[in-house]
Amino acid sequence: MTNNAPALWPARRDGPALLDITLGDLLDQQARDHGDRLAVLVDETVLGRQTRWTYAELKADADALARGLIGWGIEAGDRVAVMAQNCPAWVLLEYALAKAGVVLVTVNPALKPAELAYLLEQGKVGTLIFAQGFRGSDIGKDLQSLMPDLAELKGGLRSADNPFPALRRLAQIGGDAPGFARPFDDILETGRGLDDSARAARQAAVQPGDVAQIQYTSGTTGKPKGAMLTHHSTVNNARLMADSGGYVAEDVMLSAMPLFHTAGCVCNVMAMAACGGALITMDSFDAARMLQLWHEHRPTLLNAVPTMMVRMLEHPDYPKRDTHTLRRVISGGTSIPPSLMLRMRDETGGEPLIIMGMTECSPIITQTRDSDPLEVRVSTAGVPQPHTELRIVDPETGAPVPFGQSGELCIRGYLVMKGYFDMPEKTAETIDADGWLHSGDLAVLEESGHLRIVGRLKDMIIRGGENVYPVEIEDCLLGHPAVSQAQVVGVPDPDLGEENYAYVVLVDGAEADALALQTHCRERMARHKLPKYVEIVKEMPMTANGKIQKFALREAATAAIAEGRVTAVRR
């Protein structure tokens, strides 16, 4: 290859072969091979209880729930939405719906009524299984506000004026279920007493290429889109992640990542099932509780976002807990401070494992490898997974760009979604005729295969004719010891077209002002990349799915300048 060679990475064949397997069959296989091993432990901190299954117990309960769901009248191919935080029911539903040939539609329990209404209607959801509430909300009351005429009819749902024609069944997880919803436990208990023949026949009919999940994207720039992920794409993605990470049956993973994201239901649940290891998961992140679970269960793998790691490291209980148990510290994203990963390595013994993915890719695209120098492992997104093709193209022309040059990241292979549910035009905009998924990410691919994400197409700032990638500035700011979060957006400028505006959240108890943060950048970056404006805030605006709303930051920054509420930092 030469320096001018097009940035194209062919699919590697050096990893495990892709299997034609469903999620239900994966669980059955591990129940045969590792029946007595701990599979999953769910810690419900709020309720003060734990639920645990061995692989044999998990299969038995998943089979029972699948029988109950089939007996309730849920047909193969139906869409069942699960709107709940991490809980035992969520884990069982992930497996039981897969066994019954039913599509799991994941729903963030933090969604507001209007957001939920959109998903129910757009996703043509036939059944909604929901938690009693989440962080003070009452989901049952939210449903009544959407459907004032809710009435119970033989365990099913009918309404005199139902705004969701596909919706027929409601069930509630935990608490006293309202009259219009069936108790979840009743579905499970009913299934325990049913003959298994219908479940076995249904599971045998499920094909690896069938859609297993619909995962809605965050909708930071428009209405959410439901990415259809198959058994084949998710199970194999989890297998390859586990294999590349060296996961083994003796491993124990501790994580609070939400199951309604692929980070939880694929990278945690499926990846640990793929290796026959154990998953310790929590209903929500709490630094003190997670440290206690760490101390008690001595995990070898930790999957967490940087904010979680910082809060544990800074918690007063941290010195009291035995946390030197890890082989791996796993994190994903594009703004992971190398200094944080190095600190985690030094203090816990866990080698950094950085993953990069997107929902539409089931989700993992690249992953760091142990054979690389430590500096490379903490500063790149790693290399493409086996059976995954990458290329970098000019966003305007679609022509390939050379290695080492930035352009749009495109992905092709088994991992690419089947499409967006009921959105053929959006699907065609994202996946071209040759099967390449256009990610919208600006990235650089090196001849070695290492990938760096430098921004989003819509986020790139053009300052005085120079392209500025916000991620580069954000990474620089995150290198300051006082900075916990950083986001950079472009704002209109009469002289240069656009200028750089940085939002910063400080570490609890830390102090830094705008000038100090800009000085930090000045010592490390070219002048045109310096943030002209630096605003220190307490928190970032987030979508219901937990992603930062850059468009909201951009609007707020433009307004702050226009109204004189923020002034430029000297350059």
How far is residue 204's CA from residue 200's CA, in Å, rounded to a whole number?
6
Tell me what the mean pLDDT of segment 284-289 comes to: 95
Give the percent of the chain with pLDDT over 90. 79
pLDDT beyond 70 at 219: no
pLDDT of 337: 84
pLDDT digits (tens, 9 = 90+) for 232-249: 999 999 999 999 999 999
How far is residue 529's CA from residue 146's CA, in Å, rounded to a whole number?
47
pLDDT of 223: 79
CATH class of the domain defined by 55-226:
alpha beta
Which 8-state DSSP code applies to residue 291?
H
- Report the mean per-residue pLDDT for the chain: 92
pLDDT beyond 50 at 149: yes
Tell me what the mean pLDDT of segment 13-38 comes to: 97
How would you classify residue 535: left for phi > 0, otherwise alpha for psi between -120 and 50, otherwise beta? beta
Beta strands in 288-339 (DSSP E): 301-303, 328-332
> Tokens 């070695």 map to which residue?
448
CATH of 462-562, one of 3.40.50.460, 3.30.300.30, 3.65.10.10, 1.10.3720.10: 3.30.300.30
How far is residue 146's CA from residue 134's CA, in Å, rounded to a whole number?
18
Tell me what the mean pLDDT of segment 484-495 comes to: 90
Residues counted in the chain: 571
Fold designation for 11-17+231-456 = Rossmann fold (3.40.50)
Number of Cβ atoms within 10 Å of the Cβ of 311: 20
> Tokens 């091993």 map to which residue?
37
Which 8-state DSSP code applies to residue 137?
-
- Under 8 Å CB-to-CB from 178, ≥6 apart: which residues? 140, 144, 172
Q: Are 81 and 125 a contacting pair, CB within 8 Å? A: yes
pLDDT digits (tens, 9 = 90+) for 307-336: 899 899 999 999 999 999 999 999 986 568
pLDDT beyond 60 at 220: no
How far is residue 337's CA from residue 378's CA, in Å, rounded to a whole number?
8
Domain boundaries, the chain: 11-17+231-456, 55-226, 462-562
How would you classify residue 85: left for phi > 0, otherwise alpha for psi between -120 and 50, otherwise beta? beta
pLDDT digits (tens, 9 = 90+) for 405-434: 999 999 999 999 999 999 999 999 999 999
Beta strands in 415-520 (DSSP E): 419-420, 437-445, 451-456, 461-463, 466-468, 483-493, 497-506
Which residue blocks in 448-489 are alpha helix, DSSP H? 470-478
Give the percent of the chain with pLDDT over 70. 95
Q: Are 387 and 9 a contacting pair, CB within 8 Å? A: no
pLDDT beyond 90 at 112: no
How far is residue 234's CA from residue 39's CA, in Å, rounded to a whole number?
18
The edge-to-edge listing of strands for the beta sheet with 407-413 is: 8-9, 388-393, 407-413, 437-445, 451-456
Tell me what the mean pLDDT of segment 139-145 comes to: 93
pLDDT digits (tens, 9 = 90+) for 511-560: 999 999 999 998 888 788 899 999 999 999 987 656 788 888 999 999 99
Angle between helices 139-146 and 113-122 (to 10 degrees): 70
pLDDT digits (tens, 9 = 90+) for 151-188: 654 445 665 567 898 999 999 999 999 989 999 999 99
Q: Is it true that 55-226 and 462-562 share their CATH fold? A: no
The edge-to-edge listing of strands for the beta sheet with 483-493 is: 483-493, 497-506, 533-536
**Please, which pLDDT band fits residue 488 given cuts at 50, 70 and 90?**
very high
Nearest 5 degrees, angle CA 528-CA 529-CA 531? 105
- Least confident segment among 143-147, 267-271, 286-290: 143-147
Which 8-state DSSP code applies to residue 281?
E
Q: What is the pTM of this model?
A: 0.86
SS3 for 49?
strand
- Under 8 Å CB-to-CB from 372, ≥6 apart: which residues? 450
